[in-house]
A and B are shown apart, each in its own frame.
Chain A
Amino acid sequence: AQSVTQLDSHVSVSEGTPVLLRCNYSSSYSPSLFWYVQHPNKGLQLLLKYTSAATLVKGINGFEAEFKKSETSFHLTKPSAHMSDAAEYFCVVSPYNQGGKLIFGQGTELSVKP
């Protein structure tokens, strides 16, 4: 069965410091992996996606993620946090040959302190 595990339910950083949100996946085949962000009272927005091209994926707002098959990880990083980055982040897998349905992790709440 395909699944994703977000290792931290809550991460707190200071503005200007690096962000690391951890995600491990389980998949029998090469999956498609995504990170989505959900700001309070706003819809889900795609940050970035991996679809078996380059293993280092760059997304919007300075975020990037690296697909590491040997570690079954897809951690999300950003060099310098901004106050506007405070939100809920979801690591998502789209299993192979299941029509594109998404399996979401439980989410990581990112807090950014001034």
Chain B
Amino acid sequence: GAGVSQSPSNKVTEKGKDVELRCDPISGHTALYWYRQRLGQGLEFLIYFQGNSAPDKSGLPSDRFSAERTGESVSTLTIQRTQQEDSAVYLCASSNSGHQETQYFGPGTRLLVL
């Protein structure tokens, strides 16, 4: 079956612009995660959605970052007033539920802020 997909695959934007990144999880997966990977670094957790529960936003680095998810489907990560330090690969993952379940990762969106 289809894996996790993300769009766009690459995004170049100017400092101060808003960007929106999209994630399509594996069908039926109730949990969805966003991570950020800066160059040469491990992944940093950003936000987690589980079913209809309130999302865990504890990893969002600033109030310029927000994310939404409609039911158990598509999620969008929005970065407002982008800064150069936002340049990174943004990865989305989904799983059957939460703890101990394998997370399946998408290919990521490479964001470059000029």
A57 CB to closest chain B CB, in angstroms?
13
Q: Determine the chain B residues whose CB is within 8 A of the CB of A96 once the complex forms.
A: 99
Do B41 and A99 touch across chains, with their CB atoms under 8 A apart? Answer: no
Q: How far is the CA of A4 from the CA of B100 in the complex (A)?
A: 16
Total number of A residues with any Cβ neighbor in B under 8 Å: 22
Do B42 and A105 touch across chains, with their CB atoms under 8 A apart? Answer: yes
Taking CB as reference atom, which chain A residue is nearest B98? A100
Q: How far is the CA of A90 from the CA of B42 in the complex (A)?
A: 7
Taking CB as reference atom, which chain A residue is nearest B43? A104
Do B42 and A99 touch across chains, with their CB atoms under 8 A apart? Answer: no
Do A43 and B45 touch across chains, with their CB atoms under 8 A apart? Answer: no
Number of residue pairs spanning A and B whose beta carbons lie under 8 angstroms apart: 66
Q: How far is the CA of A101 from the CA of B48 in the complex (A)?
A: 7
Do B106 and A103 touch across chains, with their CB atoms under 8 A apart? Answer: no
Do A100 and B48 touch across chains, with their CB atoms under 8 A apart? Answer: yes
Q: Among A44, A51, A101, A104, which residue has its beta carbon within 8 angstroms of that of B100?
A: A51
Q: Determine the chain A residues whose CB is within 8 A of the CB of B100 once the complex forms.
A: 32, 49, 51, 94, 100
Contacts from A to B (Cβ < 8 Å): 32, 42-46, 49, 51, 90, 94, 96-107
Additional 11 contacts, C-beta under 8 A, given A43-B105, A98-B56? A42-B107, A43-B107, A49-B102, A99-B56, A100-B31, A100-B97, A101-B56, A102-B43, A102-B93, A102-B103, A105-B42
